[in-house]
Amino acid sequence: MKFFIDTANLDQIKEAHDLGILDGVTTNPSLMAKEGIKGHDAVMNHYKTICEIVDGDVSAEVTTTDFKSMVEEGQKLAKIHNNIVVKVPMIHDGVKAMKWFTDNGIPTNCTLVFSAGQAILAAKAGAKYVSPFIGRIDDSCWEGIDLIYQIRQIYNVQGYDTQILAASIRNSNHIVKCAEGGADVVTSPLEPMLGLLKHPLTDIGLAKFMDDAKKFA
């Protein structure tokens, strides 16, 4: 399973990259706004900077919702860097735009996916990635992880090669469950990623080893 970081924060991207386990980055308009990035040029430059830090796919989301505008915007985003993946919402014109991007060699990430039916449409449109939002499903009293299992089953049975990119990760256990359920990629904020490191028995065991090491130093 690949690890992407779900942020537009450059320090956090660098920290995950320095750990040596980062395969890519996903962003969205909310994450860009959170970093105070304003204006067309600043947004384009920010994506370019991210692509220079991480040698892997970087999802850049369109901010329009009609076919013509999404295609125009996606083409501009794709020109920033070879690793840009155009993120397109799962809406009527979004499906059309994804098919257009597929036919024209531009990789896409289908975002805002909350059902298996939407994941089938994303695969049919040739999306490179489909992004089920598991945390937001949990927020609405459903089991987000179940959707990962269901999409995995459908994609296996049908032979779709769209990669399942589990998004809206809220905790470290989500990451573990996504790995178990067959996600190809998980995109997570930094904290749940670093949370995978933690176990109290590791800390206790290390303290004892360090203590004993002093005895023969």
Binding site for ligand G3P (CB under 6 A): 6, 26, 28, 131, 133, 135-136, 167-168, 187
The torsion defined by the Cα of 71, 72, 73 and 77, in degrees rounded to 10, comes to 90
Q: Which of 38, 48, 87, 124 is catalytic?
A: 87
**Per residue in 107-123, is it b (16+ CB within 10 Å) or e — as a string?**
bbbbbbbbebebbbbbb
For residue 51, give Cα distances in angstroms to 21, 34, 39, 43: 16, 19, 19, 13
Closest approach, Cβ 188 to ligand G3P, in A, equals: 9
Q: Which of residues 94 and 159 has its CB atom nearest to ligand G3P in the complex?
A: 94
Closest approach, Cβ 23 to ligand G3P, in A, equals: 15
Q: Which of residues 28 and 108 has its CB atom nearest to ligand G3P in the complex?
A: 28
Give the integer Cα–Cα distance in Å for 199 and 204.
Answer: 9
Closest approach, Cβ 200 to ligand G3P, in A, equals: 27
Closest approach, Cβ 85 to ligand G3P, in A, equals: 12
Closest approach, Cβ 57 to ligand G3P, in A, equals: 13
Strands (E), 98-195: 108-113, 129-132, 163-166, 185-188
Name the nearest CA neighbour of 169 among 133, 202, 116: 133
Q: Which of residues 72 and 172 has its CB atom nearest to ligand G3P in the complex?
A: 172
Q: Which of residues 131 and 163 has its CB atom nearest to ligand G3P in the complex?
A: 131
Q: Which of residues 51 and 113 has its CB atom nearest to ligand G3P in the complex?
A: 113
- Is 48 in the active site? no
Name the nearest CA neighbour of 187 among 49, 13, 34, 25: 25
CA angle 134, 140, 144 (to 5 degrees): 25
Enumerate the active-site residues.
87
